[in-house]
A and B are shown apart, each in its own frame.
Chain A
Amino acid sequence: MAKIQLNGKKVVIKSNFSIFDLLKKYKLVNKKIAIEHNGIIVPKTNYKKRYLKTNDQVEIVHFIGGG
Chain B
Amino acid sequence: MKKDILKVAGKSLRSRLIVGTGKYKNFSETAKAVYASGADMVTVAVRRVNILDKKKPILTDFLNPKKIIFLPNTAGCFNSEEALRTLRLAREMGGWKLVKLEVLGDKKTLYPNMIETIKSTKTLVKEGFKVMVYCTDDPLLAKKLEDSGAAAIMPLASPIGSGLGLQNIMNISLIIKQSKVPVIIDAGIGTASDATIAMELGCDGVLINSAIANANNPILMARAFKDAVISGRNSFLAGRMKKNNLASPSSPLKGLI
Interchain CB contact under 8 A, A67 and B48: no
Q: Which of A6, A32, A67 meets B60, CB within 8 Å?
A: A32
Do the beta carbons of B47 and A61 come within 8 Å of each other? Answer: yes
Q: Which chain A residues border B20 with CB–CB below 8 Å?
A: 65-67
Query: A19 vs B52: C-alpha distance in the bound complex, in angstroms?
Result: 17
- Judge if A12 is at the interface, Cβ distance under 8 Å: no
* Interface assignment of B38: CB less than 8 Å from any CB of chain A: no
Known: A6-B51, A26-B51. Contact between A34 and B93, CB under 8 A? yes
Q: Which of A11-67 contact B (CB under 8 A)?
A: 11, 26-28, 31-36, 41, 43-44, 59-67
CB of A64 within 8 A of CB of B59, answer yes
Tally of A-B Cβ pairs under 8 angstroms: 101
Tally chain A residues at the interface, Cβ within 8 Å: 26
Chain A residues positioned under 8 Å from B92 (CB to CB)? 34-35, 41, 43-44
With beta carbons under 8 angstroms apart, the residue of A59, A60, A65 that contacts B44 is A65
A59's contact among B45, B48, B52, by CB below 8 Å, is which?
B48
Closest to A60 in B: B49
Query: Which residue from A60, A62, A66 sits with its C-beta under 8 Å from B43?
Result: A66
The residue in B23, B88, B93, B94 that gathers the most chain A C-beta atoms within 10 A of its C-beta is: B93
CB neighbours (8 Å) of A34 from chain B are 46, 89-90, 92-93
Q: Is the CB of B44 within 8 A of A66?
A: yes
- Give chain B interface residues in 76-132, CB to chain A under 8 Å: 85, 88-90, 92-94
Which of B46, B54, B160, B210 meets A62, CB within 8 Å?
A: B46
Max chain B CB contacts within 10 Å: which of A9, A28, A35, A64?
A: A64
29 A-B interface contacts by CB (under 8 A)? A7-B48, A7-B49, A9-B51, A26-B54, A27-B54, A28-B49, A34-B89, A34-B93, A60-B51, A61-B48, A61-B89, A62-B46, A62-B47, A62-B58, A62-B60, A62-B93, A63-B58, A63-B65, A63-B72, A63-B93, A64-B45, A64-B46, A65-B23, A65-B45, A66-B75, A67-B45, A67-B73, A67-B160, A67-B161
Chain A residues close to B by CB (< 8 Å): 6-9, 11, 26-28, 31-36, 41, 43-44, 59-67
- 9 more A-B residue pairs beyond the given contacts A64-B46, A67-B75, with a C-beta to C-beta distance below 8 A: A34-B92, A60-B48, A61-B48, A62-B47, A62-B59, A62-B60, A64-B58, A66-B21, A66-B22
